[in-house]
Each structure stands twice: as C-alpha cells, then as structure tokens.
Amino acid sequence: MVSLLDGVRLVPKFFDDNEQAALLATIRAIVKKAPLFVPRMPKTGKPMSVRMSNCGRLGWVTDKEGGYRYQKTHPTTGKPWPKIPEKLLTAWQQLADYSAPPEACLINYYSADAKMGMHQDRDENNFDAPIVSVSLGDDCLFRIGSDKKSGPTNSFRLESGDVILLEGPARMAFHGVDRIYPGTSTLLKSDGRINLTLRRVNMP
Ligand code: MD6
Ligand code: FE
C-alpha cells in the first residue's frame, strides 16, 4: 500500500491475474443483464467518451434532462441493477475501514481513445465513506488535484488489478483520466480499460 497524497491510497495489484480474470467474468455477466449505456452531460446532452453501467442497490446515471443522479433502475431496461460481486464487497471490507457496505458500483468502460474530464464525486449524501476504485485492462493516466477546480495536480499510472482509495482530505478532490495506454494489458480481448468505482451513497 502506498500513500500518494493525503487521502489517496494506492494498492498496486490488489487483485492478482487470476482474480482479475474472475472479476472480469462477473462484470461481463453483469453487463449482459445491464448493458453499457452512453452517459450524456446535463443540459448540453453531449455524450461522454466512456460507456457505463452499474451494479448495486443504486446506480449513477446522467442524461440531458435529469442530470447527474443515483437511481435504482437501469435507464433503458428499467430493471434493478445486478448485485455487486462478492469479490468487490470483500475488497471494500478489507480496504475501506467503513461500517457499512457500498451501495453503488459504477462500471466505466474506456475504449482505446476514451478519457474522463476532471470532476468531483459529489452526488452522494455521504462524504464520510471512502471511494474504492478498481482498474482492469489497459493502464491509464490518472490525474488528481485538490478540492479546488484549478491549481496543481499530480498524475500517475494505474494498472490492471490496482485499487485506489480516495478518502478524508482527498474525498472531494478533482480527478480524471487523461488517457489510457492501449495494448498494455492482455486481460481484455482487445484494447480498453474497465474501472469499477464503489461508493456509499447514503449515511448508514
Ligand atoms: C477511472 N475514476 O478511474 C475514473 N472517482 O476511470 C473515478 O472517477 C474515481 O477512480 C472517485 C474515486 C476514485 C476514482
Ligand atoms: Fe470520479
């Protein structure tokens, strides 16, 4: 475990190769039931370059009319989200040091040229719990600053199997994914990256 900045913990290769493959299989099964959708920016309706799905009691969604929010059902199928895989619940228990389990797991899928702009995770009613984030597939360049929109940032590479936690002073830090590095992992059948972000939405 490495403490990169105050409140940013990196656990390199928390999941070994076999665990990554098993986790990927469960995520594929989830995405069969809850297909990836194209998230759209509030008001403008501009599509993001990542595609998303969720598992857990609540899922994070965004569209032109409704904006950023958590909801209990998939935006196109209308069905409840599939359950969070046991492996992820166990990882949260081991790493999060929090009294309650995660309620939401956002699944972000990056194709070779996808990225994610700098943002804060602030749609939750609970900022006390950490956010636990898992990387699978190609490496990415992750950037993180402070809780102010401008100012200095740090960036580092995240690899398949790595877990990072944002907690305490870093819980509201702006962060984003500048790029992925296609071809740096053989976990997925083709280029791409999957990020799994576990969150507590409500106070326990
Ligand atoms: C990603 N991650 O790694 C995007 N948010 O693809 C996030 O947006 C994120 O990694 C909150 C906490 C940790 C994260
Ligand atoms: Fe985020």
> What SS3 class is residue 135?
strand
Residue 151 has pLDDT above 90, yes or no: no
User: Which of 195, 199, 200, 201 is the best mutation target for the ligand 1 pocket, counting ligand atoms within 8 Å of the beta carbon and taking the most?
Assistant: 195
The yes/no answer on whether domain 2-199 falls in CATH 2.60.120.590 is yes
pLDDT tens digits along 76-124: 999 999 999 999 999 999 999 999 999 999 999 999 999 999 999 999 9
| 11 pocket-lining for ligand 1 (C-beta < 6 Å) | no
Per-residue pLDDT at 5: 79
CB-count burial class (<10 Å; 0-12, 13-18, 19+) for 59: buried
User: Which of 197, 198, 201 is the best mutation target for the ligand 1 pocket, counting ligand atoms within 8 Å of the beta carbon and taking the most?
Assistant: 197
The residues whose Cβ lies within 5 A of ligand 2, an ion, are: 121
Domains of the chain by residue range: 2-199
32 C-alpha to center of ligand 2: Å? 24
Mean pLDDT on 165-179: 97
Are the C-beta atoms of residues 79 and 73 closer than 8 Å to each other? yes
Q: For the whole model, what pTM was predicted?
A: 0.97
